[in-house]
Amino acid sequence: MKNYPTEKIRNVVLLGAPGSGKTTLAEAMLFEGKVIDRRGAVEGKNTVSDSSEIEQSMQRSVYSTVMYTEFMERKLNFIDTPGSDDFAGGVFSAFKVCDTGVLVVNAQNGVEVGTEIFARYAERHNKPLILAVNHLDSDKADFDACMQSMRDAFGKKVVQVQYPLCTGSNFDGFIDVLKMKMYKFKGDTGERTELEIPGGEEMERAVELNKILVEAAAEYDEELMEMFFEKGTLEEEEIRRGLRAGMKNREVMPVFCLSAKKDIGVKRLMEFIINVAPSPEKAREYKTVNEEVVPCNAGGAPSLFIFKTAIEQHMGEVSYFRVMSGKVTEGIDLVNASNNSKERLTQIFAVAGKNKVKVAELVAGDIGCTVKLKNTHTNQTLNGGGKAWKFYPINFPHPKFRTAIKPKNAAEEEKLGEALNRMHMEDPTILVEYSKELKQTIVSGQGEHHINILKRNLSSLYKIEVELLNPKIPYRETITKVAAADYRHKKQSGGAGQFGEVHLVIEPHVEGAPDPKSYKVEGREITLNVRGKEEHALDWGGKLVFYNCIVGGAIDARFLPAILKGIMEKMEEGPLTGSYARDIRVAVYDGKMHPVDSNEISFKLAGRNAFKDAFKQASPKIMEPIYSVEVLVPSDAMGDVMSDLQNRRGIIEGMSSEKNFEVVKARVPLAELNKYSTTLSSLTSGRATYTMSLADYQQAPPEVQEKLLKEYVETDEE
């Protein structure tokens, strides 16, 4: 293929709800650009983008697919993304490298849940959108109802460029009010005839819509507005210029008519993208983490950003990138800005799904891939020319579903770990961690369907059968009052013995509280002379404050670190349920030692057991993790969602409105959020979405604590 300069490149992401026809549209775009000579079909399992076994069996996209086509002496890069929000990672990575979105709307259904969700994602990423109404050849297609649903969802931004002559099985053409032409199509070959618009009512409707389009175009360019007032209209190129400005500000969403299956309107949509959508150097600029703006200029230093990594048969690890600056050529040496490792691009390719076309170079703004990078992965930047640019990483959505996972065959534990790490590399929205605290491997994802696909892939691709289990909850233990204890560790076994005695007092740690001077415990006064203080911020949250209050040499200073170590060991395995303890201060004020038998192990055990005894006397409490949950929900489902949150021991903190949605903010115990994404989807027919993040730890209610203590005793006995 030929080399394309930056100004002749367009980068587009295809978005839409499941079944809207993105993959079929991608096939038609490839066909129109002669990248393929025959269009595949989803039902035929022979499309370029849905090429994996799991996508073909489900007949829907699970992974994003990078493609290109050549049209009108331009290169059009586009990424077909999954329609389910469970696989939104592919959408977020596509937004990072694409400049314009084509939001495909099913003419049978109008604006759906997925349509609204992806429109919100586009807004979050500040990307302009084109609306493509597809399936107009369906018997249930209703263009007017579809237009109304788009206006209800997106307001006055929606501007018609086309309308169909008819819908249903007879759909064979449309009126284009930008070009003021009628297009008729023959069969499903994409062959079209450009005709004049018939007179009468058809012309009246076209003129009226053209007037609305011209007004929308003039609104975002002062010079065009003056021309419009002078002439009463605008020329075709002037309308394009106005739409370009409106789209860049995300104030205009042009509407096009399609039957991707019959290749009706696809060519015209591609023409519009090339004529109106911004080229990379005129799109939104990219900044480094140091807030430096890097121009998309082929004459600059070479730099590329890795937005996707995949393991592909016969090729191994494939790294997909956008050239951010300069020009990359085969054999170029670049440096990774994250780890300073050197990488050589031994080969570079233009990408059409699994079809990779070897090219000699790619310039700023272009998208391609390379293979066999050694130390470079998704979200990393490679630079040449002595630059150390590091572009902002893709901000993937937070996980919404977590589960524990283990292999059915315990011998495959290591194999499972390797497989999960590879799956995370390919899909960064899959998060994997081994919790030392919970003694479980925890996998998090975007929803139950997302995790079920992971399980299926482990079975089919890696031949590992796994079990999914409810994850344990990371509870914490703390105390609520002062308590004192002492413990003598004494052991004699022939040779050298062991001896250590520790007296200590414990109390809840409160930030900013003065150092202790004395305590009254069970009727006796304990006076403290603080000789040393250590504050330890705990890895699991909270603090341990350790005071040395030893006087008169009762315990040698060299044994204090051993006492602290014993206490810390018990903090890591709380006396109540084995959970981490936090927010405690401990004062060691007395003890005894033996001139021969005292050693570090003796004082570690004495300190550990004294702390354990004191802890149990200090009215210990279990603390549970509380999460801040923010739910974006349609108004008609808000009551059900709030009721469900309250049934989960949630506290509603506030409500607000955001366009056509209500925002509900609540604090909910993590223990009550298991499979919440599935329940929320069921309550709202998939129309709601939510985020959750750890807020803090709060004391668990008495009935919850009692249940946990009982379960721990039973487990301990086993």
CATH class belonging to 623-704: alpha beta
pLDDT tens digits for 71-106? Answer: 999 999 999 999 988 999 999 999 999 999 999 999
Helix or strand holding residue 451 (H, E)? helix 448-460
pLDDT tens digits for 23-54? Answer: 999 999 999 999 999 999 888 889 998 878 88
Where residue 313 falls among pLDDT bands split at 50, 70, 90?
confident
Architecture of domain 7-202+252-282: 3-Layer(aba) Sandwich (3.40)
307 CB-contact burial (10 Å; exposed 0-12 / middle 13-18 / buried 19+) = buried
4 CB-contact burial (10 Å; exposed 0-12 / middle 13-18 / buried 19+) = buried
pLDDT tens digits for 534-544? Answer: 999 999 999 99
Mean pLDDT (whole number) for 318-343:
97
Helix or strand holding residue 267 (H, E)? helix 266-276
The CA distance from 621 to 104, in Å, is 54
Residue 109 has pLDDT above 80, yes or no: yes
Dihedral of the CA atoms 649, 652, 658, 661 (nearest 10)?
Answer: 50
What separation in angstroms does the CA of 438 have from each of 142, 162, 471, 473, 579?
Answer: 54, 58, 8, 8, 8
Mean pLDDT (whole number) for 477-488:
96
How do the domains of the chain map onto residue ranges?
7-202+252-282, 295-383, 401-469, 477-619, 623-704
Dihedral of the CA atoms 200, 203, 208, 212 (nearest 10)?
Answer: 170
- Percentage of the chain surpassing pLDDT 90? 83
Shortest CA distance to 278 belongs to which of 308, 315, 248? 248
The two tokens of residue 628 are: 């801040």
Mean pLDDT (whole number) for 565-571:
96
The CA distance from 22 to 505, in Å, is 67
- Percentage of the chain surpassing pLDDT 70? 99
Q: Are 562 and 603 in contact (CB under 8 A)?
A: yes
Shortest CA distance to 322 belongs to which of 307, 310, 334? 307
Q: pTM score, two decimals? A: 0.87
Shortest CA distance to 215 belongs to which of 246, 192, 187? 246
pLDDT tens digits for 665-679? Answer: 999 999 999 999 999
pLDDT of residue 685: 84
CATH class belonging to 477-619: alpha beta
Residue 458's CB is within 10 A of a number of other CB atoms, namely 21
CATH fold, domain 295-383, is Elongation Factor Tu (Ef-tu); domain 3 (2.40.30)
What separation in angstroms does the CA of 23 have from each of 18, 60, 95, 458, 607?
Answer: 10, 8, 17, 25, 66
The CA distance from 367 to 10, in Å, is 10
Residue 357 has pLDDT above 60, yes or no: yes
pLDDT tens digits for 190-220? Answer: 899 999 999 899 999 999 999 999 999 999 8
Dihedral of the CA atoms 358, 93, 128, 362 (nearest 10)?
Answer: -20
The CA distance from 485 to 586, in Å, is 11
Q: Give φ, ψ of 704 to 5 degrees.
A: -70, -45
Where residue 578 falls among pLDDT bands split at 50, 70, 90?
confident
Architecture of domain 401-469: 2-Layer Sandwich (3.30)
The CA distance from 426 to 256, in Å, is 34
What separation in angstroms does the CA of 494 have from each of 293, 457, 497, 500, 597?
Answer: 75, 60, 8, 18, 12
pLDDT of residue 290: 95
Shortest CA distance to 213 belongs to which of 235, 229, 198, 194? 235
Does 623-704 match 7-202+252-282 at the fold level?
A: no
Q: Are 660 and 153 in contact (CB under 8 A)?
A: yes
pLDDT tens digits for 587-641? Answer: 999 999 999 899 999 999 999 999 999 999 999 999 999 999 999 888 889 999 9
What separation in angstroms does the CA of 512 have from each of 140, 509, 528, 545, 582?
Answer: 68, 9, 19, 12, 16
What is the bridge-based pairing of β-strands 100-106 and 9-16?
A: parallel
